[in-house]
Structure 1
Amino acid sequence: MTGSEEMGAGIAEDPVVARRMFASADHILNGVALLCRLNNRDLSEEALKTGLPLVDGKLTLELVPRAMRRAGLQGHVTTATLGEIHKDLLPVLILLEDGSTCAVTDRMEDDFRIIRPELDEHTVTYSHDELAALFGGTVIYAGARDVIDGRADDITVPDQGHWLWRNVRANSTGFTEVGLAAALANLLAVVSALFAMQVYDRVIPNFAFSTLWVLAIGVCVAIVFEAMLRTVRSHLMDKIGRSIDMRISAELFEHVMNVQCAARPRSNGAFINQVREVEAVREFFTSTTIGAISDLPFVLLFLFVMWTIGGPLALVLMIAIPVIIGAGFLAQVPLAKLSKNHHKEASIRNGILIEAVSNPETVKAYQGEAGFQRLWEEYNQLLVKNSIKQRSLGSSLTYLATSVQQLSYVFVIVAGVYLVQAGSISVGALIAASILSSRTIAPLGQLSAIFARWQQMKTSLTGLNKVMQLPVDRPRGRQFVSRPALEGSYEFVETKFTYGKDEATVLDIPKLEIEGGDAVALLGNNGAGKSTILKLMSGLYFPSSGNLNLDGTDIRQIDPSDIRRQIGYFPQEISLFFGTLRSNLSFGLGHVSDEEMLAALEFAGAENLVRRHAKGLDRPIGEGGKGLSGGQRQSVGLARLWLRDPRIVLMDEPTAAMDQATETRVINNMENWLAGRTLIVATHRQPILRLVNKALVMRGGKVTAFGPRDEILNKHTGNKRTRTAPRGDATPQLATPVGTTE
């Protein structure tokens, strides 16, 4: 079969269906996944895209390097011709005119061997002319980034560098351009001093007006060019600052989203404040700071020129400069202490604010306003005092630099008069030296501000480093086991779990097996460990010791994307986000049709949320689901779960806040939907037991009984008249509430 014939075969026989499939496909993502596999980095498409800022749910060329980084590859997107694709760089991914992709795996003289993701990855041979007619001009190269081999030590593993300085170094070209512009601008700045010297020494004694105008025109041109260079430099510095800001903000937020749930700090306020410290880091790389730093090396240039012109007058500046720099270094110790205190107090104050604002009903109902007000004012007072001390110290350094600059000018003039009298220098040289003295000290005047920003940045960076060192779900260079089709069989082996190093064990399960397709009810008193075991089974938390196997594989080895795509976790507290009902239903799913959303709401007994509101699916939802009752939030959560269509369903009190009629309707709907799925549900509600065929009783974090539903219920309720009802039959009639253990 020829390349052109193969191109149109095997996608879909119906041309309408084929066009729809082609338009909806994420061709770049499919191609990147193929390129990773060709480089022996088998990563699922879900794993490649999870957490990335997709556009319309699809991967863009700008996101390709970030996606490939997850597979341990260095991605590079460029434009090229087919002739420029070197054989030694294969395989590469190329984009075609129709938006699809293909991988070039080999190149002969005039032929290319390619693989297309949508054609079951069969190898097809194309001539140069055939492929050139389809080629869109974009090429994606893949290079090794991480060494994934147990024999490789730290020396052989490529150093990724510090997360901040790596992003700063990415702008090395921009820094070079800034340095070049600064060099030219500072060289031109010397011209004004030389102009003054020539006028006083040569023009005035001879009244050479023609020479005066030539010099004036020359210095005006130099001033104009200096202004242009400084404008260009300012633009470059803004561009660098923006680039660094975007890079570190994106990497920081991606890391925060990837941090393991168990590793997150207990105080949300302190955690948020740590993340917000990126503002101080960004502030350090503003145009003002970069500009001041780029001017500092040219202090030596001005000193050299001044020594050449004024000789001993340069000694005045050689004394003044160490005074300014020394004062700045001496101030680092108190500045560091003040910055640390400011960071600590700001974290506490931020935590107080978030707690008070997040729970207004509780605060008001229990009259807790006074307590929060007192704490707020106490820490705010400490913060204000600390800020005043910081500003006072920074201002003192600035005033010192200004005073030293003025005194230097005075002493240059005074010393210069004696040198003029002695005939060592001319009057013009004295004037030029006085101008250069101000030019030389000026960059040092900004040094105090740089010192203050540096300490703030160091303190902020310490907090950010702690955040960036938190363990993540997907460590860089780690390859997980791909399990695209999970059945839902769980095995606990000597499994223990604690929420912190110094905390008591909240779960202790020596041995437990749950088969795929089982429907199990978790029963027990409050604090028995039901919610904790669900969190472990969902993959959001991992055992502190022992093992938890999912389908025979330790759950820590399975790709997190595979787990979250196939496991539907319904927590006790349903989190809804600011936006609309539509955005909350489609959360994490990309595009979902209105028909699917309405069907999901019907399933969850929440269709009235749309029917009785003028905006329908665009009904506004407040932060945390404000504006909806607890039962309505649970219904929206169930609808969202239904849309995900998981193979494994984990639910924690799914109907606890619903009225009886809604609960009955939801349970009826779930009976058919749960067929063929694995269900683990924690509940105190009797009607839920219709959905299960097994029951597991917990007490104090341990499993006290596990077996067929009716057998366990009869044993733990003492009700001999309990009617056995298989999964799907009527609810058993219990003499005592579910979850009560004797």
Structure 2
Amino acid sequence: MMRPRDAWLSPWLAAPLAEHRATFIKVGIAAILTNVFALATSLYSMTVYNRIVPNNATGSLIALSIGIGIILVFDFILRMLRGYFIDVAGREVDAKLGAAVFKTLTSMRLANKQGSAGAFAGLLREFETLRDFFASATIVAIVDVPFVILFLFVIWAIAGPVVLVPLLMIPVVVAASMAVQPGLDRMAGSVLGLGFSKQGVMVETIAGLETVKATAAGAMLERRWQAAVDESADTALRSRLLSAFAINVAASAQQIVYVGVVLYGVFLIADGKLTSGSLIAASILAGRCVAPLGQVAALLTRLSGTRAAYVRLDAFMSAGGEVAADANPVRRKRLEGRIAFRNVVFHYPGTTTRVLDDVSFDIAPGEKVAIVGRVGSGKSTVARLVLGLYQPTEGQVLIDGADVRQLHPDDLRRNIGSVLQDVTLFSGSIRDNIALGDPAIDDAELLRLARVSGTHDFVGQLANGFDLRLADRGEGLSGGQRQSIAIARALGNAPPIFVFDEPTSAMDSQSENALVSRLETELAGRTLLLVTHRQPLLKLVDRIIILNAGKIAVQGPRDDVLRSLATGQA
């Protein structure tokens, strides 16, 4: 959904903030009252030195002190409430943004995914930067700034020309803050990008640590890591120096204002134009004048980083998912299993090489077809297109006569049991990885799926059985065991369509042959699209399609194609 040109924030960020506007209003009211109470302390000092000390009015001092003590108690309570309201709003906004970001992640088009997994994860965590900026110090700073005018007016009312001192320093603080903004803006994007690169190297190394050690790739990755660290540190240092300049100018301005007010005030007292109590009150208020500007200076230094994070995260959130915001996809609870490719052309995002070139074929409901061919011929791409993971560049992929782009992704994948070439298991138990939280898969069904897939053969030998906790991506299990679990997961809920991409590539021949025998019964009456190089799996199919360089070279009944291959006629 496109936002209006004049909108400051995209709906995905504006909506959670708007939901808590009542809380933000409470924070604003608390900030207003604490600023008003700040006037009371300065006026208390002026009254004591101008009225009570000269007259030795101890009784009045006690009464006045009780009053100011009550104000200070309320000030403390309001500050605590202000912090509490900000934390509550921040927590709620954090939850809303986190849910929105994760939902966008799971529904995004794979074509929109760019960069390494680590860099991508770093980008998604930037919503915390936005939450901190919009739900914390920002509100307090915005509320405090208008009170600068009030404090200046009160200083003028009680100390006259002394107001010139803070009045002259305020533009200095503002100018220093604005002067560093262009430099911070230029570096913010670089700092963010370099941080993503650094995290990408770290996540890649952790995820493939076994391979890193086995292939002695540590030196190469260490050089990448060190280069990213050095460049990131240099850019971050320059950014911090600019930020520190603005913040330190604001801090020095507070001290200069205090000294300047006292210095100027002493001469005014000597001329009889100012009382000592008024000077003390003016010096307190003068510091309060510059303090909010110090907050603004710190805020402006964060603004560049926040803006860079927002731009990148907004591009991700606004890229659109598999289902367009204004779309009304066809909902189908159950599919028959008819698959058709119509003049499909496909190339992966960012490339111009045609992985599939004018591919057309039909698979009838219940038919079982194998896609074979050399490495890089486009076999796995066919499986991804059927699953709707990518969209064809040209042509159509049809399921039951409907373009996969018109089917709701949830309905499509609920009706397809898939095993991809790179099997990924999730942290959790073996039971979790098979059932995926589906309550329809009870213990009896779990055991049945495990027997068909061959998972039961090794799970029965484990102490914890199906409750064995797996590490990330199923580390600790063999490749064949991971494939068995993935097959059991695909068979769950008896989908009408199966898409298997090299499902037994890591299995031994005995396990593979036993699995084929069991699958012949399990797959009866269901559509199968099988991508394989393995001869035993071809027993499952009725027809074979051979791909070569993205085009269909041969297709026909299994036995005819195998016979032609054996005689060298294909």
- Say yes or no: TM over 0.5: yes
1:453-472 matches, within 5 Å, as: 453-472=302-321
1:268 aligns with 2:117: yes
**C-alpha displacement at 1:424, in angstroms?**
3.2
1:160/1:588 CA distance change after superposition, 3 Å: farther
**C-alpha displacement at 1:386, in angstroms?**
2.3
Which has the larger displacement, 520-529 or 201-210?
Answer: 201-210
Q: Structure 1, residues 364-398: CA drift from partner, whole Å, max 9, x if none?
A: 23322111111211211122222222333322322
> Which of these residues, 95, 100, 106, is aligned with residue 251 of structure 1?
100
Match of 1:523 in 2: 372
1:497–1:507 Cα contact (<8 Å) kept? yes
1:465/1:161 CA distance change after superposition, 3 Å: closer
1:589–1:644 Cα contact (<8 Å) kept? no
Higher relative contact order (CA 8 A, sep 6+): 2
**C-alpha displacement at 1:266, in angstroms?**
4.1
Distance, in Å, in 2 between the alignment partners of 1:592 and 1:372 is 43
1:695 aligns with 2:550: no
Match of 1:294 in 2: 143
The two structures, once aligned, show a CA RMSD in angstroms of 2.1
1:641 aligns with 2:487: no
**C-alpha displacement at 1:497, in angstroms?**
0.7
Match of 2:564 in 1: 715
Report the 3-state secondary structure (helix = DSSP H, G, I; strand = E; otherwise coil) of the residue aligned with 1:617: helix
1:237 aligns with 2:86: yes
1:176-191 matches, within 5 Å, as: 176-191=25-40
Task: Report runs of 4+ in structure 1 exceeding 4 Å deviation.
Answer: 158-161
Match of 1:683 in 2: 532
Match of 1:123 in 2: none
> Which of these residues, 177, 182, 193, is aligned with residue 344 of structure 1?
193
Match of 2:395 in 1: 546
Match of 2:42 in 1: 193
1:15-26 matches, within 5 Å, as: none
1:289–1:450 Cα contact (<8 Å) kept? yes
1:546-585 matches, within 5 Å, as: 546-585=395-434
Distance, in Å, in 2 between the alignment partners of 1:284 and 1:154 is 21
**C-alpha displacement at 1:353, in angstroms?**
1.6
1:630 aligns with 2:479: yes
Match of 1:704 in 2: 553
> Which of these residues, 513, 523, 535, is aligned with residue 384 of structure 2?
535
2:427–2:470 Cα contact (<8 Å) kept? yes
Report the 3-state secondary structure (helix = DSSP H, G, I; strand = E; otherwise coil) of the residue aligned with 1:607: helix
1:45-64 matches, within 5 Å, as: none
Match of 1:486 in 2: 335
1:38-187 matches, within 5 Å, as: 161-187=10-36
Distance, in Å, in 2 between the alignment partners of 1:160 and 1:449 is 22
1:205 aligns with 2:54: yes
Q: Which structure is higher in helix share?
A: 2
**C-alpha displacement at 1:455, in angstroms?**
1.3
Distance, in Å, in 1 between the alignment partners of 2:357 and 2:332 is 27
Distance, in Å, in 1 between the alignment partners of 2:3 and 2:26 is 34
1:361 aligns with 2:213: no
Q: Structure 1, residues 232-266: CA drift from partner, whole Å, max 9, x if none?
A: 11111111111221111111111111111222114
**C-alpha displacement at 1:172, in angstroms?**
1.0
**C-alpha displacement at 1:699, in angstroms?**
0.6
2:160 alignment partner AA: G
1:319-468 matches, within 5 Å, as: 319-468=168-317
Distance, in Å, in 1 between the alignment partners of 2:290 and 2:440 is 60
1:510/1:608 CA distance change after superposition, 3 Å: closer
**C-alpha displacement at 1:603, in angstroms?**
0.7
Q: Structure 1, residues 133-173: CA drift from partner, whole Å, max 9, x if none?
A: xxxxxxxxxxxxx9xxxxxx999xx9994322222222111
**C-alpha displacement at 1:679, in angstroms?**
0.8
Match of 2:347 in 1: 498
Distance, in Å, in 1 between the alignment partners of 2:332 and 2:184 is 53
Report the 3-state secondary structure (helix = DSSP H, G, I; strand = E; otherwise coil) of the residue aligned with 2:492: helix
2:86–2:135 Cα contact (<8 Å) kept? yes
Distance, in Å, in 2 between the alignment partners of 1:677 and 1:160 is 49
Q: Structure 1, residues 320-361: CA drift from partner, whole Å, max 9, x if none?
A: 111111101111112222222211211221222222222223
Report the 3-state secondary structure (helix = DSSP H, G, I; strand = E; otherwise coil) of the residue aligned with 1:337: helix
Match of 2:66 in 1: 217
> Which of these residues, 511, 518, 523, is aligned with residue 674 of structure 1?
523
1:154/1:184 CA distance change after superposition, 3 Å: closer
1:450 alignment partner AA: L
TM-score, scaled relative to structure 2: 0.95
Match of 1:475 in 2: 324
**C-alpha displacement at 1:469, in angstroms?**
2.6
2:441–2:493 Cα contact (<8 Å) kept? no
Match of 1:9 in 2: none
**C-alpha displacement at 1:182, in angstroms?**
1.0
Match of 1:609 in 2: 458
Distance, in Å, in 2 between the alignment partners of 1:646 and 1:353 is 39
Distance, in Å, in 2 between the alignment partners of 1:550 and 1:381 is 52
Query: How many residues align structurally?
Result: 568
Q: Structure 1, residues 274-305: CA drift from partner, whole Å, max 9, x if none?
A: 11222322332454444333322222221121
1:328–1:451 Cα contact (<8 Å) kept? yes
Distance, in Å, in 1 between the alignment partners of 2:148 and 2:492 is 65
Distance, in Å, in 2 between the alignment partners of 1:453 and 1:305 is 31
1:588/1:558 CA distance change after superposition, 3 Å: farther
1:274–1:464 Cα contact (<8 Å) kept? yes
Match of 1:44 in 2: none
Distance, in Å, in 1 between the alignment partners of 2:280 and 2:362 is 91
Distance, in Å, in 2 between the alignment partners of 1:653 and 1:161 is 43
1:398–1:445 Cα contact (<8 Å) kept? yes
Which has the larger displacement, 386-395 or 634-643?
Answer: 386-395
**C-alpha displacement at 1:536, in angstroms?**
0.6
1:649 alignment partner AA: F
Report the 3-state secondary structure (helix = DSSP H, G, I; strand = E; otherwise coil) of the residue aligned with 1:627: coil
**C-alpha displacement at 1:502, in angstroms?**
3.2
TM-score, scaled relative to structure 1: 0.74
**C-alpha displacement at 1:519, in angstroms?**
0.8
**C-alpha displacement at 1:501, in angstroms?**
4.1
1:234–1:291 Cα contact (<8 Å) kept? no
**C-alpha displacement at 1:490, in angstroms?**
1.9
Report the 3-state secondary structure (helix = DSSP H, G, I; strand = E; otherwise coil) of the residue aligned with 1:540: coil
**C-alpha displacement at 1:472, in angstroms?**
0.9
Distance, in Å, in 1 between the alignment partners of 2:289 and 2:338 is 74
> Which of these residues, 583, 587, 594, is aligned with residue 436 of structure 2?
587
1:160/1:352 CA distance change after superposition, 3 Å: closer
Q: Structure 1, residues 7-60: CA drift from partner, whole Å, max 9, x if none?
A: xxxxxxxxxxxxxxxxxxxxxxxxxxxxxxxxxxxxxxxxxxxxxxxxxxxxxx
Q: Structure 1, residues 562-592: CA drift from partner, whole Å, max 9, x if none?
A: 1011011111111101121111111252463
Distance, in Å, in 1 between the alignment partners of 2:87 and 2:9 is 26
1:675/1:336 CA distance change after superposition, 3 Å: same
Report the 3-state secondary structure (helix = DSSP H, G, I; strand = E; otherwise coil) of the residue aligned with 2:358: strand
